[in-house]
Amino acid sequence: MTKQERLEKQQARLQEMLTRERELWATGKLYIAGVDEVGRGPLAGPVVTAAVILPKDFSLLGVDDSKKLSPKRRDELFDQIKEAAVCWAIGRREPQRIDEINILEATKEAMRDAILALDVKPDHILIDAIKLPVLDIPQSSIIHGDALSVSIAAASIIAKVTRDREMERMAVLYPGYAFESNKGYGTKAHYEGLAALGPCPIHRRSFL
């Protein structure tokens, strides 16, 4: 594939992922917030959420589901999205809260926090696969939304990079679990660390 062909493919992908945003913009809704989470499955660490409002002239190529991108590309897009966005915000819930109320409810709390922390109140919210009660803002829950909406994909990148960097810091504080590579997920090295050391303060006791 030539450089020009790759560019055209990325441009077509961006237009495809802007479909839902354009539909809402066409109804007069200016501020569309994409919302996503990272970290529902790990044995350790927080669940992190992000809310991102992109401008109508958003043209950054390469934004996609964070799981499809290399760490280097995510890092690049992380800074570019923050610079291009109308506004963005982070929410999180710690392992203790996850153990208290379960991961789904903790994720919803963190998503609400991210939305309410935005500098601009959204006219509509696009959320990856979850519905949020107790919000006076219209919302759409989209299955696989991080692969279908550029706003949700942008939020997934912001949340993913934020959480990964957090877990790399936790690897220094709590060595022996390979957090720097597994980011808290249940890999062989992580389970070996648990067997040798037992859980540390950032482990989710309800997941062990």
Spatial neighbors of 60 by CB under 8 A, at least 6 apart, are 14, 77, 80, 81, 84
In a domain, 198, yes or no: no
In sequence order, the β-bridge partners of residue 127 are 35, 141
In a domain, 133, yes or no: yes
pLDDT tens digits, the chain, 208 residues: what are they?
Answer: 898 989 999 999 999 999 999 999 999 999 999 999 999 999 999 999 999 999 999 999 999 999 999 999 999 999 999 999 999 999 999 999 999 999 999 999 999 999 999 999 999 999 999 999 878 999 999 999 999 999 999 999 999 999 999 999 999 999 999 999 999 999 999 999 999 999 999 999 999 9
Find where tokens 């006076």 sit: 136
18 backbone dihedrals φ, ψ, rounded to 5°: -90, 0
Spatial neighbors of 193 by CB under 8 A, at least 6 apart, are 176, 177, 178
In a domain, 34, yes or no: yes
| Domain residue limits at 111 | 3-164
Q: Residue 171 carries which side chain, given as an amino acid letter? A: A
Report the domain count for the chain: 1
Strand 32-38's sheet: what is its strand order? 87-93, 47-53, 32-38, 124-128, 139-142
Q: CATH number of the domain at 77, please.
A: 3.30.420.10
In a domain, 44, yes or no: yes
Please return the burial class of 83, using the count of CB atoms within 10 Å of its CB with bins 0-12, 13-18 and 19+.
exposed
In a domain, 197, yes or no: no
